Amino acid sequence: MATNLKDIYSNEFLTTFSQKVTKIYPHFANEQFILAVLDETWEDLSVRARAKHIATTLGLFLPAKYDEALDILFQLTETCQGFAYLFFPDFVTIYGKNETDWELSMTALETFTSASSSEFAIRPFLLMDSKRTMKQLTQWALHPNEHLRRLASEGCRPRLPWAEALPMFKENPQPVLDLLELLKDDSSLYVRKSVANNLNDISKDHPELVLNLAENWLGTNEKTNWIVRRACRTLIKDTHPQAMRLFGYALDEQAVSKAAIGTTPTTITIGETCELDYTVHLSTKQATQVRIEYGIDFVKANGKTSRKKFLLSDKKIQGEYCWTGTRTHKCANLTTRRHYPGKHVIVLLVNGVKVAQTALELR
């Protein structure tokens, strides 16, 4: 099993793929192709960079005519499925952006998205001609195939992870919102997740726009309600006042009668763990959504702090309720966060409001 995601592109994978190509295209130079892929840059490439590198190299060993090369890939689609074959759509991005190839490239992305996903490959076309490409995405949004409807939403996400940002939609997301309107009660959870994630992207640049849309969509049906709630998750996490009101997190100031948080031990070395014990007693007259989190003010390299929140509970209650629990927290360095020595303040939050705090000394 690959220890790193990029290791899915092993020598064995490349050999098997080459054999598949050769069955359809006997002139394919297997060994030379593999040697060209595994060049001096290979080890340092990320998983997406490796996929693009394979696609670029593949174009050097397939027929020079784009349509002839695509015909070979079309024949391979049935046996080349899954995340690893993202280099099929990448091939379209690299070799199919000429104006004369537009229709063929759209057909190729439509074909390949069901086998892997064309969400990354459609973005260079959006950057070249957003109006024309959005018309294509709108057609896919109405397609009976859920993979194409999902591509319509996922492909135009302004902040799609691992992909180029779409600055025009970060600035003006209205074309994206018009498309998502077609998918707001889609029958496929696969599609609805994408719609919610797209809206969550937009909320980071235009929170009021997404919240206004959420108010209009809420109550349409259960599918749409689910999309809206998931779409506003970052706004809820950031305790945006409108989001908190909209999703029932309004809490009386006197609701919390008792709250405490403590850490055992109070001093640890970076890489070790501590136990966080917390208690919250509260009461509400009306049914209220209650979100309990702990936040750590992590010390940065420059001595300043940055808070990271961790969810403990998120549920609807009415009347008296008590939360008591223990959470193990590991202060180990991650690719996304490094730890530095110093006093780390830990706060207990109820619907974004601090109700108790303690401190942990990192050595």
**DSSP result, 27-83:** T--HHHHHHHHTSTTGGG--HHHHHHHHHHHHHHHS-SSHHHHHHHHHHHGGG--SG
> In this structure, which CATH number among 2.60.40.3880, 2.60.40.10, 1.10.3210.10, 3.40.30.10 belongs to the domain 256-362?
2.60.40.3880
Helix (H, G, I), strand (E, B) or coil at 247: coil
Tokens coding 123:
């973005």
Does the global pTM surpass 0.95? no
**Which of the residues in the chain have pLDDT under 50?**
1-2
Residue with tokens 């780390």: 344
Q: What is the pLDDT of residue 232?
A: 96
Q: How many CB atoms lie within 10 A of CB 151?
A: 29
Q: What is the pLDDT of residue 286?
A: 87
Q: What is the pLDDT of residue 89?
A: 97
Helix (H, G, I), strand (E, B) or coil at 218: coil
- Domain assignments of the chain as residue spans, ordered by start: 1-121, 146-245, 256-362
pLDDT in tens, 9-27: 999 999 999 999 999 999 9
> Whose CA is closest to 8, among 73, 70, 87, 78?
87
pLDDT in tens, 196-251: 999 999 999 999 999 999 999 999 899 999 999 999 999 999 999 999 999 988 88
In CATH terms, are 146-245 and 256-362 the same topology?
no
Q: What is the pLDDT of residue 145?
A: 97
Q: What is the pLDDT of residue 1?
A: 42
264 near 240, Cβ under 8 Å?
no
49 near 86, Cβ under 8 Å?
no
> In this structure, which CATH number among 3.30.980.20, 1.25.40.290, 3.40.630.30, 1.10.1520.10 belongs to the domain 146-245?
1.25.40.290
Q: What is the pLDDT of residue 337?
A: 85
